[in-house]
Structure 1
Amino acid sequence: MKINRLIEITVLLLKKEVIKAKELAERFEVSTRTIYRDIETLSMAGVPVYMSKGKGGGISIMEDYSLSKTFLSKEDKESLIIALKTLKATKYPEIDSAIAKISGLFKDDDEDWVQVDFSHWGSNPNENQKFNRIKEAILKRKMMTFNYINSRGEGSQRYVEAMKLIYKGVGWYLYGYCRLKENFRIFRISRIKELVVNDEVFKRRQTPLMDHMEYEETQKETKRPWVTLKLRFKEEALYRIYDDFDAESIVKNDNNTYDVTTSYPEDEWVYGYILSFGRKVEVLEPPRVRGIIANRLKEALKIYNGSL
């Protein structure tokens, strides 16, 4: 208790110019004599606190004193601010208060050099509410009901024990136990619709290792083998290529095209992903997927030719 009180007293002194001993005593519900002993302890520990008498007097700390010089390096401070900003982006409670306290510790009001926002451009504000309801269900261990669209376009109602929020790649996912499938599942949050947090409280299950579970999920959910794709992109697609693939896997050709070899579970998502590049991509391998993409482009062209 004394250590916690000493730390909080130091934080308060860094944020305010002068504090009365009586004010601190009332805050911590101790005697003023105890506060005087705390100030003496801080002074002996090297914290430059001092006391002044008279009108406007009280307990103060040296104006230029900064804990960052004592405990943390500049890099440590920046890493801490990034971590807190990331939590703030997830709407985690009371992070604003934590950031303010950290800024007070470092005598630094310029924590706005970084901003973290996981929402998509143009996203619906309701998406944030969905995220918050999922977070509530995890923390309070409440059951959730929602409609879900899988990667094959199939819809189903799920009854889920929410375990964990995962940010992977460019999207948020929910990891939990699905009572419909009687197994652990990963759900992409953007595909969760009509979410309801129920009053039923569940007992948290022992969860399997994530890597093993993810591999089995891919096999069970898609029921399709993985396909290795060789894709050739035009230079206009370069910005997306570097968004989606490691630089080591991108090979530049002499004619300013770029080849990428990658593997995915073969399903509707893969076809849609390739088609999203339009004329900026060509499927080189395998021939079967190349044919599927060509046929879909022909079908799309029929639609537009019919409207001209």
Structure 2
Amino acid sequence: MKSSRLVSILLLLQTRGRLTAAQLAEELEVSVRTVYRDVEALSAAGVPLYGDAGHAGGYRLLDGYRTRLTGLTTEEAEALFLTGVPGPAAELGLGSVLAAARLKVRAALPRELREHADRVSGRFHLDAPGWYADADETPHLTAVADAVWNGRVLDVRYRRWREPTDVERRLEPYGLVLKAGRWYVVAGPGPRTFRVDQILELDVPGTEFTRPDGFDLAAYWTAYQREFHERLHRDEAVVRIAPGTLPDGPVGRAAAADGTADEDGWIRATVPVESLDRAHDDFLRLGTAVEVLEPPELRARIAETVAELARRYT
């Protein structure tokens, strides 16, 4: 809608300063010609907006001009209050700050939008950690967050899974990520990813570092997860799935993606697996719904376990 787009242009210029027509068009996903028309409409409405020509040109608002207009829609107000996650904010030492910010935003909303925001807060609660795992103790989280914010180097003693387990590392922390209730710090050089709860000791020597230009934390994390899963599932197992069943997880996804039906109604599929040990445990949990055909060593190991269980319960 044009009215929403005009508000967006006004707020973009207010928060970012000078922007070219091309930059505004990219932000709003419209043509440059549309931006020209919208700017003319804002000027006609009395908004003190002007443009400069040349290489360093662009549109900007008159110095000192501010608007209290937010242009929040009902859906935007609801989404805003849905993003407030008190648990992680409290872990970062920002619980009271978040509460105060939400209170101020709520007070500034019109009555109708305030009622919608209250409805969201009362009907949706976000709880990130899983059911069957205790919350990780992260005593150094606040110090890591402070180093991320202020661009300070960290000297840590870190526990990893392979030998030697306890190692000394100097980190340049670029950002923090909360994944399934667990905090990770993305740090240079590299960058690399470290679990915050595995930091045993931490020292802040006071040395500052420069964050790489253009580093995108969200893009890094997306690529990291993709590479992690590719490294994780290097092996494959061929299985048969019983008629009328479609297990969750990798087995179900493999069956839906490229499963083929045998004459007896069983579905044959190739499933990516992390390791023989993990696959042995995962397939046993599925009971009689799945039969492992390959690799032979995995099939033999499951058969041995089933035979032992049969002897034990006879």
User: What TM-score do the two structures reach when normalised by structure 2?
Assistant: 0.50
Which residue, 115, 126, 131 being the options, matches 1:121? 131
1: distance between equivalents of 2:251 and 2:141? 24
* Residue 282 of structure 2 corresponds to residue 276 of structure 1: yes
In 2, are the aligned partners of 1:271 and 1:293 still within 8 Å (CA)?
A: no
Unaligned regions of 5+ residues in structure 2, if any? 1-67
Evaluate the alpha carbon distance shift between residue 122 and residue 292 of structure 1 in structure 2; reply closer, same or farther with a 3 A threshold.
closer
**For residue 161 of structure 1, what is the aligned residue in structure 2?**
172
2: distance between equivalents of 1:127 and 1:256? 49
**For residue 199 of structure 1, what is the aligned residue in structure 2?**
204
* Residue 139 of structure 2 corresponds to residue 103 of structure 1: no
Evaluate the alpha carbon distance shift between residue 300 and residue 148 of structure 1 in structure 2; reply closer, same or farther with a 3 A threshold.
farther
**For residue 79 of structure 2, what is the aligned residue in structure 1?**
79
Evaluate the alpha carbon distance shift between residue 247 and residue 280 of structure 1 in structure 2; reply closer, same or farther with a 3 A threshold.
closer
In 1, are the aligned partners of 2:135 and 2:181 still within 8 Å (CA)?
A: no
Evaluate the alpha carbon distance shift between residue 262 and residue 129 of structure 1 in structure 2; reply closer, same or farther with a 3 A threshold.
farther
Describe the SS at the equivalent of 1:149. Answer: coil
1: distance between equivalents of 2:78 and 2:251? 25
Q: What's the CA shift for 1:298?
A: 3.6
**For residue 89 of structure 1, what is the aligned residue in structure 2?**
88
Q: What's the CA shift for 1:291?
A: 1.7
Unaligned regions of 5+ residues in structure 1, if any? 1-66
In 2, are the aligned partners of 1:175 and 1:187 still within 8 Å (CA)?
A: yes
In 1, are the aligned partners of 2:89 and 2:98 still within 8 Å (CA)?
A: no
| Equivalent runs, 1:52-67 vs 2, <5 Å | none
2: distance between equivalents of 1:294 and 1:170? 37
RMSD across aligned positions (CA):
5.1
Q: What's the CA shift for 1:271?
A: 3.8
Describe the SS at the equivalent of 2:191. Answer: strand
Q: What amino acid sits opposite 1:84 in the alignment? A: G
Task: State the Cα deviation string for residues 155-181 of structure 1 (Å, max 9, x = none).
Answer: 342513332233557865432236xxx
Q: What amino acid sits opposite 1:186 in the alignment? A: T
1: distance between equivalents of 2:241 and 2:181? 21
Describe the SS at the equivalent of 1:276. Answer: helix
User: What TM-score do the two structures reach when normalised by structure 1?
Assistant: 0.50
Q: What's the CA shift for 1:118?
A: 1.8
Evaluate the alpha carbon distance shift between residue 253 and residue 227 of structure 1 in structure 2; reply closer, same or farther with a 3 A threshold.
same
**For residue 37 of structure 1, what is the aligned residue in structure 2?**
none
Q: What amino acid sits opposite 1:165 in the alignment? A: L
**For residue 22 of structure 2, what is the aligned residue in structure 1?**
none
2: distance between equivalents of 1:115 and 1:242? 28
2: distance between equivalents of 1:137 and 1:244? 43
2: distance between equivalents of 1:298 and 1:277? 13
Describe the SS at the equivalent of 2:160. Answer: strand
In 1, are the aligned partners of 2:184 and 2:193 still within 8 Å (CA)?
A: yes
Q: What's the CA shift for 1:129?
A: 4.0
Evaluate the alpha carbon distance shift between residue 115 and residue 300 of structure 1 in structure 2; reply closer, same or farther with a 3 A threshold.
same
**For residue 227 of structure 1, what is the aligned residue in structure 2?**
235
Describe the SS at the equivalent of 1:278. Answer: helix
Q: What's the CA shift for 1:147?
A: 0.6
2: distance between equivalents of 1:250 and 1:171? 34
* Residue 184 of structure 2 corresponds to residue 176 of structure 1: no
Q: What amino acid sits opposite 1:155 in the alignment? A: T
In 2, are the aligned partners of 1:145 and 1:198 still within 8 Å (CA)?
A: no
